[in-house]
Amino acid sequence: MPYLFTSESVSEGHPDKVADQISDAILDHFLAFDPDSKVACETLVTTGQVIVAGEVKTNTYIDIQTIVRDTIRRIGYTKSEYMFEANSCGILTAIHEQSPDINQGVERGTPEEQGAGDQGMMFGYATNETANYMPLALDLSHKLLIELAAIRKEGRMMTYLRPDAKSQVTIQYSDDNRPEKIHTIVISTQHDEFDTEARMQEVIKKDIIDILIPRVKAQLTPELQKLFTDDIIYHINPTGKFVIGGPHGDTGLTGRKIIVDTYGGKGAHGGGAFSGKDPSKVDRSAAYACRHIAKNLVAAGVADEILVQVSYAIGIARPVNIFVNTYGTAKHGLTDQKIAEGVEAIFDMRPYEIEKRLGLRSPIYSETAAYGHMGRQPQTVIKTFRKPDHNGTLVLKKEVKLFTWEELNYIDAIKKYFKI
């Protein structure tokens, strides 16, 4: 029997994502000026207020007030009627030094023996149902909101849009786990005031179907475009009016959208959030490493779908275990256990080696904090960072490589090991 599977996404203006982006912007500035910084930065946003708290061990100083305001401004909270605005919101900072009890478990005599920054289990997942090896429902949910934000920032169409938005896509799958069609699309977007609620719903639904959907479809392969049939069920702003939104509508917290950040409910999640954490926290770095492994395994043809788990003990470099589940899709006579043994042989999963392999000590994290940490396009960019200096403002330009864990650079090594 066919079955349905649903994933959701949230926009960069969603209050939890505002908090994530602030935390990662602060992290990036610490790493830009001191790559050895240890950072655990949490953010809370609410009506007219930002609270930043956490633990940091660093040799640099950064201007948190400016970083917070620049981040909020970039997202689009620039009008007083939003009740949360970049220039006027209050900012409270409560950052103190990282616990020496934790630090002594991380720093070791040699970098290679750097201990895990915490205990826990992390997962990576990949499937061949999309070109970027991501679950289709989540991939479409992200694309809808990325394009909606692009329309808002262009300012030519749908000029009533405000920054906060959510999407949800339900896919109908066949018995053999292949996408058959899109069953339902849900979009709720914050908007300016309309004359009437009925007029608002009429205009927004028409614009979503006539403007947004065609722009998203144009980005897809012909095979995926066929999933957009005439009988899709649309729920557009189903609660009605959505003028009050963002941090004024709901309090936002760092790390509260971990399923949106990863695989939309497919595979598994270890429970640890990413944003605001430097790569010594394996919640983040090992989750990226597991995605890198899973994606390269699927791309190498080891299986159609793969889940990779790794777990750590705090202060210990080598993982406690590596687990692989291919959901019965393994090929070439391989078993899940044999694949797990291959993963351990090919990939060094000590935290320092993960940091080095994926270049995680660079300021690359702001770009991860909205629209998912996985499935994104690796690219090299030049980023500019500023901090107060005794001579005024120190400006630093750095060339960095984003989303390195999405690179398909281990396919040959995998094929060689498994003799594919």
Asked whether residue 281 is marked as a ligand-binding residue, the answer is yes
Give the SS3 label for residue 163: strand
Asked whether residue 34 is marked as a ligand-binding residue, the answer is no
Asked whether residue 38 is marked as a ligand-binding residue, the answer is no
User: At which residue do the structure tokens 């990779």 appear?
Assistant: 308
The two tokens of residue 32 are 């830009």
Asked whether residue 94 is marked as a ligand-binding residue, the answer is no
Strand order in the sheet with 49-57: 90-97, 49-57, 38-46, 252-253
Amino acid at 395: V
Q: In b/e form, how buried is each residue of 250-267, taking b as 16+ CB within 10 angstroms?
A: bebbbbbbbebbbbbbbb
> CA 371, CA 356: separation in Å to the nearest integer?
25
Q: Contact 22/54 with Cβ under 8 angstroms?
A: no
Asked whether residue 57 is marked as a ligand-binding residue, the answer is no
Phi, psi of 13 (to 5 degrees): -90, -5
Amino acid at 173: Y
Asked whether residue 14 is marked as a ligand-binding residue, the answer is yes
Asked whether residue 16 is marked as a ligand-binding residue, the answer is yes
Q: What is the DSSP string of 32-51?
A: HH-TT-EEEEEEEEETTEEE
Task: Return the bridge partners of 173, or none.
Answer: 3, 179
Asked whether residue 397 is marked as a ligand-binding residue, the answer is no
Asked whether residue 55 is marked as a ligand-binding residue, the answer is yes
Asked whether residue 241 is marked as a ligand-binding residue, the answer is yes
Asked whether residue 98 is marked as a ligand-binding residue, the answer is yes
Asked whether residue 416 is marked as a ligand-binding residue, the answer is no
Asked whether residue 257 is marked as a ligand-binding residue, the answer is yes
> Which segments are annotated as binding site for L-methionine?
55, 98, 250, 281
Binding-site members for K(+) are 42
Which residues contribute to the annotated binding site? 14, 16, 42, 55, 98, 164-166, 241-242, 250, 256-257, 273, 277, 281
Give the residue ranges of the annotated binding site for ATP. Answer: 14, 164-166, 241-242, 250, 256-257, 273, 277
* Known binding residues for Mg(2+): 16
